[in-house]
Chain A
């Protein structure tokens, strides 16, 4: 990998490219806050951001955010309100895109952020859904951000906190889920995508400095590889400048 940027900075720019101009984006926390800023400063100048605690914005906060509730995210907001009003937009199906961080994801994009090793006496108790399950079920499409490790990208998650494509194509429609489900998983090594009809993730691009074999070795199922698998575009200088403006200490991007 180039010395010029971190793996997290590349994840931010890859996530930013998932945001289209004019979209209403359920931003959430951590790297997606930076991804919204990058998208807003480049290809998606009219994208709006929603934050589940009760905020809408049309530009990133001008200062560093450790959480969506930090005061700079509230000053200059388009709307400061209650959570259920933001969830109303999600439930109506008018939120275009959401981001969710996952501890464990499987081949169908189902996320586990609750329990590793069973719910009764878990080996690891993870923090839980937060708004993740709501985004996964109700947003038009969503993107997961993950650390790419074999123990995290598993064949089937043992507990589905936030459902992806369930057990394959057609599952979401059968279960009555209104949103379209995951369209991509952006990891520290690669971008995985899903077919338009849902189903199983495939390898779409590998980040610079990594190889297809390395990605396959760190994935816990027999990952399909796109015939045209490419290299994830590197962050541009303009994108890096925006990331570092919003996170000058590298709190979220591994530079701290």
Chain B
């Protein structure tokens, strides 16, 4: 399935959408850019930190609510579109439900496990408790209400057509987001035969029953890194930070890299992208699933 078809079918206006769940690596930028191209509105963005992707969706007017621990540009600092939306209501106001990294993880685990809430000691003494209605102080501990995404999008190293995905490297809050979500869209560097995936079932990210779409999207995480495939494009983050400082600069950036681009293959064309490919490969030793 193409990313355009996956977004068209499974990410309608008003979707509660989890993305960027590995934190800095493996951010599904290709999916985010397609969501912008299709003009989605009223999204709730769910994630831990977001390295620029949420900022772009907010600047493009796609989001009405953010449920996250941190929104900005990790190597460059503030998220300028996030600031304009929160401070001046541009392009329109957004509701912010602040979390910490731990609390958004626990909120997703609560949804994943069907629990009414998760008790924790984190956020005790933080004003986040007073400004996020999903958090409650009861008898000296914090109760975190479940956060259930309608859709979670993950970019992974490889998947088979049935949505059995192999992902490696740090996973952040990907497992709880995927288990909690009603539907999962997998975007992958390599689309492989089921035999490849099933040779290592421990590495399968999620039950295939959650996955509604598999999109073969090489470079789908650019400018974020992907272990074994892509280095992080620091210059792209720097360029985005500089140009998104003003609304006009952001519009120009959006036209150049999102609206004026047909799809991810066109976006990834060119030598400067190819130079980001990982050159030094480090293969793990295979494990033995021998059975008799």
List residues of chain A with CB under 8 Å of any chain B CB. Answer: 29, 51-55, 66-71, 74-75, 80-84, 87, 90-91, 114, 119, 121-134, 136-138, 159-163, 166, 171-172, 175-178, 251
Contacting residues, chain B, for A52 (C-beta < 8 A): 23, 101
Cβ contact within 8 Å between B172 and A53: yes
**Interface assignment of B168: CB less than 8 Å from any CB of chain A:** yes
Q: Give the secondary structure class of A's interface.
A: loop
Query: Which of B77, B109, B126 neighbours the largest number of chain A CB atoms within 10 Å of its CB?
Result: B126
Contacting residues, chain B, for A137 (C-beta < 8 A): 121-126
Which stretch of B7-15, B68-76, B240-248, B262-270 is in the interface?
A: B68-76
Known contacts A53-B22, A122-B87, A124-B87: does B125 contact A82 (CB below 8 Å)? no
* Residue in A131, A132, A159, A176 whose CB lies within 8 Å of B124: A176
| Distance between Cα atoms of A104 and B144 in the complex (Å) | 26
Chain A: minimal CB distance from B50 (Å)? 9
Chain A: minimal CB distance from B243 (Å)? 18
| Distance between Cα atoms of A19 and B228 in the complex (Å) | 32
Please list 19 pairs of residues, one from A and one from B, whose beta carbons are closer than 8 Å in the complex, sorted by A's number. Answer: A29-B74, A69-B23, A80-B169, A81-B171, A82-B170, A82-B172, A83-B101, A83-B173, A84-B105, A129-B99, A130-B48, A130-B69, A131-B69, A131-B100, A133-B102, A134-B122, A137-B123, A163-B125, A176-B121
| Distance between Cα atoms of A71 and B141 in the complex (Å) | 37
B123-149, CB < 8 A from A = 123-128, 131, 140-141
Chain B: minimal CB distance from A117 (Å)? 9
Contacting residues, chain B, for A131 (C-beta < 8 A): 69, 100-102
B141 to A, closest residue via Cβ: A176
**Interface assignment of B51: CB less than 8 Å from any CB of chain A:** yes
B233 to A, closest residue via Cβ: A66
* Residue in B122, B170, B234 whose CB lies within 8 Å of A138: B122
* Residue in B75, B100, B174 whose CB lies within 8 Å of A134: B100
Query: Which of B120, B125, B278 neighbours the largest number of chain A CB atoms within 10 Å of its CB?
Result: B125
* Residue in A51, A161, A171, A172 whose CB lies within 8 Å of B126: A161
| Distance between Cα atoms of A182 and B24 in the complex (Å) | 27
* Residue in A67, A136, A171 whose CB lies within 8 Å of B51: A67
| Distance between Cα atoms of A171 and B126 in the complex (Å) | 12
Known contacts A122-B87, A127-B82: does B231 contact A71 (CB below 8 Å)? yes
Contacting residues, chain A, for B82 (C-beta < 8 A): 125, 127
Contacting residues, chain A, for B106 (C-beta < 8 A): 84
Contacting residues, chain B, for A74 (C-beta < 8 A): 25, 169-170, 227
Closest 6 CB pairs of A and B: A69-B24, A54-B170, A127-B72, A125-B86, A163-B125, A130-B70
| Distance between Cα atoms of A108 and B85 in the complex (Å) | 31
| Distance between Cα atoms of A68 and B74 in the complex (Å) | 10
Cβ contact within 8 Å between B282 and A75: yes
Contacting residues, chain B, for A130 (C-beta < 8 A): 48-49, 69-70, 100-101
* Residue in A29, A84, A122, A129 whose CB lies within 8 Å of B109: A84
B143-175, CB < 8 A from A = 168-175
**Interface assignment of B83: CB less than 8 Å from any CB of chain A:** yes
**Interface assignment of B232: CB less than 8 Å from any CB of chain A:** yes
**Interface assignment of B34: CB less than 8 Å from any CB of chain A:** no
| Distance between Cα atoms of A74 and B128 in the complex (Å) | 31
| Distance between Cα atoms of A142 and B194 in the complex (Å) | 47
Cβ contact within 8 Å between B168 and A69: no
Chain B: minimal CB distance from A69 (Å)? 3
Contacting residues, chain A, for B217 (C-beta < 8 A): none
Contacting residues, chain A, for B78 (C-beta < 8 A): 126-127
Known contacts A68-B24, A71-B278, A119-B131: does B87 contact A125 (CB below 8 Å)? yes
Contacting residues, chain A, for B128 (C-beta < 8 A): 114, 129, 133, 161
Cβ contact within 8 Å between B172 and A90: no
| Distance between Cα atoms of A91 and B71 in the complex (Å) | 24
**Interface assignment of B225: CB less than 8 Å from any CB of chain A:** yes
| Distance between Cα atoms of A178 and B102 in the complex (Å) | 15
Chain B: minimal CB distance from A154 (Å)? 15
| Distance between Cα atoms of A156 and B121 in the complex (Å) | 24
Cβ contact within 8 Å between A71 and B225: yes
Contacting residues, chain B, for A70 (C-beta < 8 A): 24-25, 225, 231-232
B99-123, CB < 8 A from A = 99-103, 105-106, 109, 120-123
Chain A: minimal CB distance from B144 (Å)? 12
| Distance between Cα atoms of A126 and B48 in the complex (Å) | 15
Known contacts A55-B170, A114-B128: does B232 contact A66 (CB below 8 Å)? yes
| Distance between Cα atoms of A109 and B126 in the complex (Å) | 13
Chain A: minimal CB distance from B70 (Å)? 4
The interface bits of chain B over 222-242 (1 if a CB of A lies within 8 angstroms of the residue's CB, else 0) are 001111100110100100000
| Distance between Cα atoms of A132 and B6 in the complex (Å) | 35
Cβ contact within 8 Å between B100 and A53: no
Known contacts A53-B22, A128-B71: does B141 contact A83 (CB below 8 Å)? no
